[in-house]
Amino acid sequence: MGNVVLRARLFIPVILAAALLSSACVGFSEPRGWAEPVFDGNTVYVFLDRDEFAAVTLDEFGGQALWVFPDGDLESEKEIDLEAVYGSPLFAGERIILAGFSGEMVALGLEGRYIAGRGSWHRSDVEGAIVGGATLAGDRFAFGTTEQRLYVRSVVDGAGVPGWPADGLALDGEIWSQPVVVGNVLYVGTMTGKLYAFDLVTGQELWDRPFDADGAIADLSYIGNGVLFVPTLRGEVWLVDVESGSARGRAFQAEGWVWTRPAIRDGVAYFGDFDGLVYAWDMASGRTKWTYEAGNKVKAQGVIIGETLIVGDEGGTVHFVDVATGIRRNAVKLDGAGKIRAGLVEKEGFAWILGTEGRLYRADPETLQVFEREVRGLP
């Protein structure tokens, strides 16, 4: 009887889930965006507010903004309205490609400017909103939209490429997850629970039929060894073989929605759910090693540094958890950070965190403390 009650509580029709997620749950009615920081040496690229994108040179105490896009003084950049960005920037040669929630896309030069005729381009010819961000694949990039369409475009001009419809390939369900590319194969999940595999060059569907996760797929990741990590808003997490499109073992059942990518170490997946729980799941045995109570929704992907798992929650708290036991080592509430929804990033032994208020933080697994790294020189 308990299992029946649990499954009834976790089963949420896609229409209801979309309605909830579009309101207070994730803020799509007033998009703010979330995208993890991207490092290149001593420079970090961050979204400070919705579609305000900056390159920052880090120093001991914070960082100096090198440039910010868009520049309100440039007429060419005033015309671009990404609205908000939910995926990391794509670095494609001499271009930085941003895909906005509005459905608009822009390619900037490495100096952070949109200059038509010098490799930059701007397009707004897609149907629907881009929620999961785009994925780079050589001279192409791929993304899905809320209008149930999967696009593969050229990094050179943002136009369509051979093998793929210019107006997008229609799939069964809205696409909120960022596509995954492994070798020459493109994988994408939908909010009706379907997981597809396509030849990246020809657009040919590779599995006899899509994998049915029986729950909305809002995120997706490749964890190596030919396995996709497929979480669902029904709380089930599947491991799917990239070649056959079949499940490897039984699904893991979380207490709440799972909309995150895992941190992986030694065959154990560490991830959270929307009931505020963090799990250590031994994927080979199917056993749960431990469960940690964060107390608030966990959307952001955590990182493992040394023997510490560092996780952020939507209440703006950073948790330091012992990897072996799941025991809390410390928890730090970040005032003014907003919600932690973007994945945490490891660099030089620290975890870097970007909250929805655009403030950058550095977590130290040795001292178990978190300090803001103020960005200076903003307009």
- Going by their DSSP bridges, the two strands 317-322 and 328-333 should be labelled as antiparallel
- Nearest CA to 281 out of 265, 260, 298 is that of 265
pLDDT score for 8? 38
pLDDT score for 16? 43
Read off the amino acid at residue 243: E
By percentage, how much of the chain surpasses pLDDT 90?
88
End-to-end CA distance of the chain: 59
For residue 241, what are the CA distances in angstroms to 196, 204, 227, 238?
A: 12, 18, 5, 10
Contact (Cβ atoms closer than 8 angstroms) between residue 189 and residue 195:
yes
pLDDT score for 7? 39
Residue 132, pLDDT above cutoff 60: yes
pLDDT score for 29? 64
Could you read off the pLDDT of 198-207 as tens digits, one per residue? Answer: 999 999 999 9
Query: Taking residues 69-84, what's their average pLDDT?
Result: 94
Contact (Cβ atoms closer than 8 angstroms) between residue 189 and residue 172:
no
Per-domain residue ranges of the chain: 275-379
Read off the amino acid at residue 59: D
- Going by their DSSP bridges, the two strands 43-49 and 38-40 should be labelled as antiparallel
Rounded CA separation 194/147 (Å): 15
Structure tokens at 220: 């997706």
What's the CATH number for 275-379? 2.40.128.630
pTM > 0.75: yes or no: yes
pLDDT band at residue 13, thresholds of 50, 70 and 90? very low
Query: Taking residues 308-322, what's their average pLDDT?
Result: 98
